[in-house]
Structure 1
Amino acid sequence: MSDHPSTYKGTPLETGEHAWDDRAALHAADDGDGVLDGMKALRRGTFAEMIRHVAMLPEDERSRYVIEKLGDREYSAAEAVELAARDDFPSAD
């Protein structure tokens, strides 16, 4: 996808696009990462689905979670809410 690391030096491509359909997982913010991190996912789906889920949570609960986007990085709940508010964020339809 558009912002996955390239094969040259493994650096992300700076296209400014978000790959909403990339695979992502919802994790507890304090799950410790580590070797078995993939097994600690609370929910899996597309990046857009995980953003939508976090944005629908009560505001006081959001900070308990992070989104790990495959081939990219970890997104905080605050970043997820900002992304959900973007004009180019896909609708749930």
Structure 2
Amino acid sequence: MDSLRLRGIIVKLQDRLSNDDRKRLHFYLGNDVPRRIRDDASLSGTLSLMDSLFDQDKINEKDFTFLINAFNEIQCIDAVKLLREHLRQIQSNGLN
């Protein structure tokens, strides 16, 4: 269930990214995804990039700091805030 929630947040996040944001993300993560995904900075390609990160277990429903750090590095502050808020919710639910 948590994986679905994170995937939902990632879909919402996609609506906030500009084409330039997507291009910067693909470039930044170039060593972590296959070339065919890296070269497709469209919405579909970016969702494939996220799937690739899930498949490699670089992100999962409990730990997506890799993605937070990537968005921080390319200065997508809105994305960082959204993901950090979700991380705080997960951590607070784990403590309760």
TM-score (norm 1): 0.36
**Greater fraction helix:** 2
Higher strand share: 1
